[in-house]
Structure 1
Amino acid sequence: MADTTVKRERGSEETNELHCEVKKTKVDDNNGGDGVGAKSQNALSGFKTSNVLSVNAREKRIVLHGKVADEDAVVILEKTPFTEDTMDQVFKGSTLKLDMKNYIYSTYQLQASPHYNEIKTTLVCPATEKHISKYKHQESFFVEETKKDYETITLPFIEDQTTFSLEWVYNILQKKAEVERIVYEDPDPDTGFILLPDFKWNQKQVDDLYLIAIVHRMNIRSLRDLTAEHLPLLVNILQKGQMTILERYSLPSSKLRVYLHYQPSYYHLHVHFTKLGYDAPGCGVERAHLLSDVIQNLQSDPQYYKNRTMYFPLREEDKLLSKFKEAGRL
């Protein structure tokens, strides 16, 4: 299962580099920009493609590996979605070239004005082997993780990832970065969180709404750490997250999908809010756990996620997958 979307890295071994990963060429301050939303010099004018890491025709996305000024780089190009408020101008200012006509059916090539042809561009530079591997199409394998497996394989793997930190997460929580992107904050140290848009969402339409709630507590890594003690935190995230989205985006809770990932992309507890109907990356049953289900499970069994067997996919070059193979569990 290829995953070429821009997301925070899984594991603290990789997250230090990720703070520099999510950059669009038009907002790169190191290339003459004045900050978020400002235009900059073309940081990709000298990009030389080495190979194509993946292509997703359905999502209109391509991921390239190459060089920028002799440094390894990954470039992600994504066609931006249509917005209803621009359609009239798109048609008025465009030209049509007929491809085929048969009875009442015809197809055309529509040439729209340049400013309607934006391509969301993400630059990862300098890119490490981890980034290149992450965006490369790879086969996935389903893993069965018992309580013992977590204690003897997964937890030691997580705790061994000490080379880098979750600095980018702490920057958000401490208001050192992305302050202008915060949609809502509950500052309570035990039950509070910060809600902000995921980088996969351009915030121009609600059809693909995608927000992330990052908790203030530093000692909860994933679903496996949750017990009944954390129910006030989880209920608070669900209720206040839904309320904020209703007030700001006019989307009721009945149109939201609220869930956690296991395995997560990074080991600091966070919750995903996406619009129901949007096929968000990672929202499938093999990885996503509805927050409402998590709350009910912990209400029924305070140690539910400490004891249960968990199932999740890992890509073929994932180091955690190697650990499960070495232990004879795959």
Structure 2
Amino acid sequence: MSDVSALKKFSFQRVLDEDPLTHTLILLGTLPSSSDTLDSANSVEAIVRVERTTLSAKDAPLFFGNNGLIKKTALEGSTDIYTWLFGWFGDEAHRDSDIKINIICPATEIHIRKYTKQEQILVHETPALYEKYTKPYILGFPAARTKWVDDILNGIAEKGKLLYSSPEYLILPDMKWDTKTLNSLYLLAIVQDRKIRSLRDLRKYHVGLLKSIQREANRVAHEKWGLPTGSLRMYVHYQPSYYHFHVHIVNANYHGSMGMAVGQAHLLDDIISLLELDPDEGPGIFERMTITYGLGDQHTLYEPMRRALNEIS
């Protein structure tokens, strides 16, 4: 089975597994028991694992340009400074795309720092550290960074992609999803309330909102894609990449996002349970608790938090 002529004798039966993270398919089929026959009676079961090789950094200068590796693109969507495209290494745009291309233009220094590979530290953010460093940072967060969110909430952008809309929140596909591969399904619920910036702003009276998001996300996933209850993983980031409250909604079988890691993702079920344990009066639980999270060395909060942690130790 060392050449393509041998592989052409593979008779496909079914897909055993697919992994959007590694871009891998594992196929079950049959191959002739000997290379010189195509007799199905003498065939044996075979498993073939097909994996797309990784993009090479040395090819980066060759991707675009008049003679670039990417020969064709198709617009997936755009809002404000963000654009999403599908790309093909050949001209066969009738088949599924080879790559998905996300563009940020113009990109600010903050964007560049965010997408640069980073070393992380674990921050134990006490309420005092939040008040001293994080809250002022959030309040000073540039409005331009969330203009794309406002465009969606105001019906200027992504209107045709909405899966659910109410006066409280919207549900739509996340830009990271190709909108085709069900195993990597990735949706986003964005709330209308601009006063909820992050996990720290949630109070007991928000439980109804959060449960509604859960309920409608499950309904949409069932009605549109046939996914049963329990098929979705819903979580909230802290720190988030932007300070307008939103909930990530992904297929429970999807493990392809670093943002799902411990130290950033907080399950929506757990958040609701904690809020339900809160007293009706007094400071909320997310005001009172110490939250531990990973923070990259390109983040604006990195240096003040690192110094604060050194002082405490």
Give the aligned partner of residue 278 of structure 2.
301
Return closer, same or farther for 1:62/1:242 CA change in 2, 3 Å cut-off.
farther
TM-score when normalising by structure 2? 0.66
**Alpha-carbon spacing, 1:327–1:242, altered in 2? closer, same or farther (3 Å):** same
Contact 2:116-2:298 within 8 A present in 1 as well: no
Evaluate the alpha carbon distance shift between residue 152 and residue 226 of structure 1 in structure 2; reply closer, same or farther with a 3 A threshold.
Answer: same
CA distance in 2 between counterparts of 1:319 and 1:58 reads 36
Aligned-pair CA distance for 1:260 = 0.6
Which residue matches 2:176? 200
Q: What are the within-5 Å matches in structure 2 for residues 36-47 of structure 1? A: none
Q: Which residue of 2 aligns with 1:249?
A: 225
SS at match of 1:229: helix
Secondary structure class of the residue paired with 1:327: helix
Contact 1:261–1:287 (Cα < 8 Å) also in 2? yes
2:114 to 110, 126, 134: 134
* SS, match of residue 244 in structure 2: coil
Which residue, 278, 285, 299 being the options, matches 1:318?
Answer: 299
Q: What displacement does 1:130 show?
A: 2.5
Matched, 1:289 2:262: no
Q: Does 1:155 align with 2:131?
A: no
User: For residues 93-129 of structure 1, what are the alpha-carbon distances to aligned partners after superposition, in whole Å with 9 as ceiling and x for unaligned?
Assistant: xxxxxxxxxxxxxxxxxx9967455221223333333
Residue 258 (1) aligns with residue 234 (2):
yes
Q: Distance in 1 between matches of 2:53 and 2:275?
A: 36
**Cα separation, 1, equivalents of 2:265 and 2:53:** 20
Equivalent of residue 191 in structure 2, options 204, 215, 219 = 215
Aligned partners of 1:289 and 1:62: how far apart in 2? 33
State the percentage of identical aligned residues: 38
Give the structure, 1 or 2, with the largest relative contact order (CA under 8 Å, sep 6 or more): 1
**Does the CA-based 8 Å contact 2:119-2:297 persist in structure 1?**
yes
Counterpart code for 1:306 = E
Question: In 2, are the aligned partners of 1:207 and 1:275 still within 8 Å (CA)?
Answer: yes
| TM superposition shift of 1:62 | 6.5
Equivalence for 1:119: 99
Residues of 2 paired with 1:163 and 1:219: CA distance?
13
Separation (CA, whole Å) in 2 of partners of 1:310 and 1:202: 33
Secondary structure of 2:144's counterpart equals coil
Structure 2, unaligned runs of 5 or more: 1-20, 22-50, 62-69, 71-89
Q: Aligned to 1:240, which of 211, 216, 236? A: 216
Give the TM-score normalised by the residue count of structure 1: 0.63
Q: Secondary structure of 1:141's match?
A: strand
CA distance in 1: counterparts of 2:179 and 2:229, whole angstroms: 18
SS in 2 for 1:252: coil
State the SS of the aligned residue for 1:123. strand
Aligned residues: 231
Aligned-partner Cα distance in 2 for 1:199–1:301: 35
Would the alpha carbon gap of residues 328 and 287 (structure 1) be closer, same or farther in structure 2, given more than 3 Å must change? closer
Q: Which residue in 2 is equivalent to 1:168?
A: 148
- Residue type of the alignment partner of 2:275: L
Amino acid at match of 1:327: A
Q: Which has the larger radius of gyration?
A: 2
Cα 1:248–1:62 shift into 2, 3 Å:
farther
| Alignment partner, residue 184 of structure 1 | 164
Q: Decide whether the 8 Å contact of 2:123 with 2:309 is kept in 1.
A: no
